[in-house]
Amino acid sequence: MDAAELIRLNNLQLAARVVSDRLLLGVHHSRRTGVGTEFEQYRPYFPGDDLRRVDWKLYARSGKYLVKESATESHLHIRMILDLSGSMNYAETGVSRLAYSKILLASLAYMGYRQSDPLSLYTLKEEGLELQVKEGRNSFYRILYQLENAVAEGKSMPETAAFPEFQYRQKELLILVSDLLQAGEEWINMIKKAASPHRQILIFQVLGDQELDFNLEGFYRFKDLETGAEVELEAESIRKPFRAAINGYLAGLEEDLRLPDVHLVRASLHRPLAGVIAEGLKTLSRWNF
């Protein structure tokens, strides 16, 4: 199902299950692996792994550094952040950026719920970052409720915004969903402040095809969804400078976000959600998500 069909279901939990089931189709294992008592599998050694977990007898035979892993309970805290600035109301062919983002986050929350991962939800507005759902019992269903009722409005966050100090008691996965459109360097600064060896950051940048291609013809009235300002322009006259500006911005963004443990995935409003999520999760294979 494409995004438009999922939105027409008018049921966020059902949409999340459809996307997640599609994504997990053909995946036969469901247990997370890590340090435990019951041997499960081998995996390649990564810098930072405890050397005591290397199978040295196997190394003597094969010359390969392999680490023993065992079935264990999850200890991965998944913190999800949804941008709720006015530009998230942008829509193409009946699919809004906000609706697409809600299903994306709900699908990831459902996958985390199935693995018993601690889940929490934050929103970002002009006032800054706000905790909506704290980790705990029934957090998945509370996250669904908050996503269902989330409204995007107002300007983007201030350039001085920052993540609160998270506790490093366990490894974390931080998932941010936004258009990443910024007036200054607010997104770059915020992500750099949040980057940490204890935290993987997975960013989904959701954009429309016209925001990238700008294949419009004729006169249009363009509206700033955050300030409400409007301007009427002939599309052909601004197509070339617009494309140059957006391509330059996106290239610069990619360069600025080439940081350790930070992963950027760009999603079109017309791209199937299961494929978008699969691309993001591939970058997290080291963390066995």
| Together in a domain, 20 and 67 | no
| Together in a domain, 48 and 147 | no
Strands (E), the chain: 33-44, 66-71, 77-83, 91-92, 95-96, 119-125, 128-133, 172-178, 199-207, 219-223, 230-234, 262-268
| Together in a domain, 51 and 163 | no
| Together in a domain, 67 and 193 | no
| Together in a domain, 123 and 67 | no
Domain that holds residue 212: 3-27+74-287
Cβ contact 100:5 at 8 Å: no
Which amino acid is present at 125?
A: K
| Together in a domain, 59 and 86 | no
pLDDT in tens, the chain (289 residues): 789 999 999 999 999 999 988 887 644 344 444 434 444 566 677 665 677 778 888 888 888 888 776 544 345 789 999 999 999 999 998 999 999 999 999 999 999 998 888 999 999 988 888 999 999 889 999 999 999 999 999 988 776 666 665 555 567 899 999 999 987 888 898 898 888 888 899 999 999 999 999 998 999 999 988 888 999 999 999 999 999 999 999 999 999 999 999 999 999 999 999 999 999 988 885 444 4
